[in-house]
Structure 1
């Protein structure tokens, strides 16, 4: 029941400012380590090999720390680490903040959504803001909740920590930019591998809680997504809510003509659709909690 307790603790308390305003959050520490490696090693020749070595060392360190923590003879440590490294409540708070801001004005919505997406937001209209928030909700449900829980079930604290350091590295250096295309290659590929199963589990859970009888459209569209994993929860969310996601968007001033997911769905989106996505996040989390409890009893 360790995972169940950790999930409940995260859902209730999230990330208390009283704690993390005084000491660095573990995810922040992971980010600092990755950033130091990037600054120190991402130059000269053999960048791909250097990046692969960084991932290997980081995962080795995570493995060692995980085993050391797991050896402490109390389940409280495991529960607390799970609660800290899962992100259900914080995800909901960030996504809901976009809906609240969008109800005030489009400008407020742009500022709020800029906190959770990496695309250009300055020219977004209401629908683009809502679409971006919902896409972020779907993808981060997989990356920030289902995948960490899955890897804890598979590998305990070592599995959880290896996943988190890899996902952190991917979020910082796993981009196909001139600076990171080579150095971040290993982080991106390993993150793709670790998310292969969790992303599809997330899609299955979203499909289950949105009561869509036919999964065929999800199975057809998810593999067409530019990401080998993000397309699964995104397609499930799009079809589950009956809305169109993905589509054209701008990165660093360059418009990218991505196809829509569920292109026949509603494209005129608003804060109401974000609210529905937030409800889906909680329903999916609840189903995942039930599955974790059942797995514990088996």
Structure 2
């Protein structure tokens, strides 16, 4: 029942500005913790060992915090923490803003999509902006909704906080760059492990929203084409359900990366209407997850 209430509260409230304009969001605090270990220990020799130990201590600290919060009587704390750390409503809102901006102008679309993706956006055309928004929708559905809900179902607040600090660390130090390739190795690998099942579960849920239009064998074949061992699954499912091509070439830090398309046979000329359709898929997938939580509470 706690999982159901958390999913519903997040869907209804999202991230209210009146609250987070006055208080630091937990995700911001997690980011500060990761930045602390980065600035204090990411230097000199043995960076992989330093990063592994620092990350492990960070995980233990958040597991301990979860145990403390879970010991508070009642369900209120559990529901509130879960709702705050889920991102369904905010994800849909941010992705839908890209469609709205793109309908206004190309520069507005580029500005909006730059808020949710890490690639360079200043030269993106309308289809590339739409692809970026839909890819972000699919990947963050897994990272921001299904995975935290699953780890809460498995491990309660300790499991939820362990997942969130790992995902935050991966997003900040889990890069294959000279600065982080060694130091962020443990965070990146552990994030891959924790997302192994959720990513595939997300793909299954997305497919179940439109099984007649999306071929499950095609999803199984296309997902490994993605550069990420996990993000490819929800993206491949979303591409199949919408009948579009996702991923493909993009630019980071002035360098073009010629990544292959996922579902290359799908439509490449996509626009705001496809972003709207992706948002509808997000809500249908959320509804299936809610149904799953209900069945879990019953049986």
Question: TM-score, with normalisation over the residues of structure 2?
Answer: 0.99
Give, in angstroms, the shift of residue 169 of structure 1.
Answer: 0.2
Taking the TM superposition and a 5 Å limit, the aligned residue runs for 1:93-172 are 93-172=93-172
Residue pair 2:214, 2:240 contacting (<8 A) in 1 also = no
Q: Do the aligned partners of residues 213 and 266 (structure 1) sit closer, same or farther apart at CA in structure 2, a change above 3 Å counting? A: closer
SS of residue matched to 2:158:
helix
In 2: Cα distance, 1:281 partner to 1:210 partner:
12
Give, in angstroms, the shift of residue 225 of structure 1.
Answer: 1.4
Runs of 4+ in 1 over 3 A off after TM superposition: none
Deviation digits for residues 217-267 of structure 1 (CA, Å, limit 9, x no counterpart): 000111221111000000000011000000111111111111110001000
Give, in angstroms, the shift of residue 170 of structure 1.
Answer: 0.3
Give, in angstroms, the shift of residue 213 of structure 1.
Answer: 5.5
Deviation digits for residues 21-49 of structure 1 (CA, Å, limit 9, x no counterpart): 11100000000110111111111001111
Residue 75 (structure 2) aligns with: 75
Deviation digits for residues 143-174 of structure 1 (CA, Å, limit 9, x no counterpart): 00000000000000000000000000000000
In 1: Cα distance, 2:186 partner to 2:70 partner:
27
Q: How many residues align?
A: 298
Taking the TM superposition and a 5 Å limit, the aligned residue runs for 1:4-43 are 4-43=4-43
In 1: Cα distance, 2:170 partner to 2:180 partner:
10
Residue 290 (structure 1) aligns with: 291
In 1: Cα distance, 2:35 partner to 2:115 partner:
20
Q: Where in structure 2 are there 5+ consecutive unaligned residues? A: none
Determine whether 1:55 maps to 2:55.
yes
Determine whether 1:230 maps to 2:231.
yes
Taking the TM superposition and a 5 Å limit, the aligned residue runs for 1:215-226 are 215-226=216-227
Q: Where in structure 1 are there 5+ consecutive unaligned residues? A: none
In 2: Cα distance, 1:288 partner to 1:175 partner:
30
Residue 194 (structure 2) aligns with: 194
Q: Do the aligned partners of residues 185 and 73 (structure 1) sit closer, same or farther apart at CA in structure 2, a change above 3 Å counting? A: same
Give, in angstroms, the shift of residue 54 of structure 1.
Answer: 1.5
Residue pair 1:37, 1:54 contacting (<8 A) in 2 also = yes
Residue pair 1:91, 1:137 contacting (<8 A) in 2 also = yes
Taking the TM superposition and a 5 Å limit, the aligned residue runs for 1:203-282 are 203-211=203-211, 212=213, 214-282=215-283
In 2: Cα distance, 1:278 partner to 1:167 partner:
23
Deviation digits for residues 5-35 of structure 1 (CA, Å, limit 9, x no counterpart): 0000000000111111111000000001101
Residue pair 1:210, 1:241 contacting (<8 A) in 2 also = no
